[in-house]
A and B are shown apart, each in its own frame.
Chain A
């Protein structure tokens, strides 16, 4: 493979190659297996966040960690929802 810094399309080629691999893997799975993957990834992701929270708080109290994860989740949701969700609907004239 060409050096990413020397060849103008090398980075795009690498991205395409990685993406192609992900698509081929997903195509080899059934719909049911792909749904199972969503749940598995959700669990791994939130427990990784929990480990990060415990580390950041320098605590081994799981509840404290989950509280921080909940706070992070809320912040993330607010960022994702910004301009897409509002609490008041404008009056229709």
Chain B
């Protein structure tokens, strides 16, 4: 299966099961910035016990083999479930549990439904501002590059910079934001 087919299947199954979700990772940052190659479909998923992640993982079992053990990110201690496609090419599906974190809750509540022609369906996407905040919070090399690309392509003048600055202050990542803005060439 192609990454596109896997993504469509993941989104379709999540919709069918009425599991609240949102696209994150390279697909979300590529939507607002500059596309980069990825091997993952990343989804932030509700952990409601009824409308939750477990049902989605079970339903995807014919396409994706999930690891039995969840992983924790060391920034928010949120849980991530990693699965590998059962077919070739070997792509990855990562499901992040929506957790009790004020920013994650805000990001999820602000998500919007957008028709994506290549998927031939609507997909839930975060806002550009939330992608920037999240990427800066993570702060790995590729995250900083993604945040920089979104800021450059969208332009700080079109973004709600006060919202971004407030969350960066709350996450103590203001310096990273300032460094990224200072690194942008005149456009």
**Chain A interfacial positions (CB closer than 8 Å to B):** 16, 19-20, 22-24, 26-27, 31-32, 34-47, 50, 62-63, 66, 69-70, 73, 76-77, 80-81, 83-89
Contact among A22, A37, A43, A89 with B3 in the assembled complex (CB-CB below 8 Å): A43
- In the complex with contacts A69-B89, A86-B72, A19-B3 CB distance below 8 A: no
With contacts A27-B153, A34-B31, A84-B138 known, is A73 near B90, CB below 8 A? Answer: yes
A39 to B5, CA, bound (A): 10
Contact yes or no, A80 B37, CB < 8 A: no
Docked pose: A42 CA to B38 CA in angstroms: 5
Cβ–Cβ < 8 Å partners of A89 in chain B: 72, 77
Can you list 8 pairs linking A and B with CB atoms under 8 Å apart?
Answer: A19-B185, A31-B31, A35-B30, A35-B31, A35-B119, A41-B36, A50-B89, A88-B72
CA distance A47 to B138 in the complex (A): 29
Interface of A: prevailing SS = helix
Number of A-B contacts (CB under 8 A): 119
Q: How large is the interface on B (under 10, 10 to 19, 20 to 34, 35 or more residues)?
A: 35 or more
User: Given A42-B37, A42-B39, A84-B138, are A69 and B72 neighbors across the interface (CB < 8 Å)?
Assistant: no
Q: A7 CB to closest chain B CB, in angstroms?
A: 17
Cα–Cα distance between A24 and B153 once the two chains are bound (Å): 7
Note all chain B residues with C-beta closer than 8 A to A80: 140, 142
Beta-carbon contact of A70 and B153 below 8 Å = no
Cβ–Cβ contact B34 & A22, under 8 A: yes
CB of B3 within 8 A of CB of A42, answer yes
**B residues near A39, Cβ cutoff 8 Å:** 2-4, 7, 118
A48 nearest CB neighbor, chain B only: B37
**How far does the alpha carbon of A35 sit from the alpha carbon of B118 in the complex, in Å?**
8
| B33 on interface, CB distance cutoff 8 Å | yes
Interface residues of B in 34-64 (CB under 8 A from A): 34-39
* A16/B37 contact (C-beta < 8 A), A27-B153, A34-B31, A66-B89 known: no
Chain A residues contacting B27 (CB-CB under 8 Å) are 35, 38
Q: How far is the CB of A59 from chain B (nearest CB, A)?
A: 15
- List CB contacts (< 8 Å) of B137-184 with chain A: 138, 140, 142, 149, 152-153
**Which residues of A are found within 8 Å of B37, using beta-carbon distances?**
38, 41-42, 44-46
Q: In whole angstroms, what is the CA distance A89 to B119 when docked?
A: 36
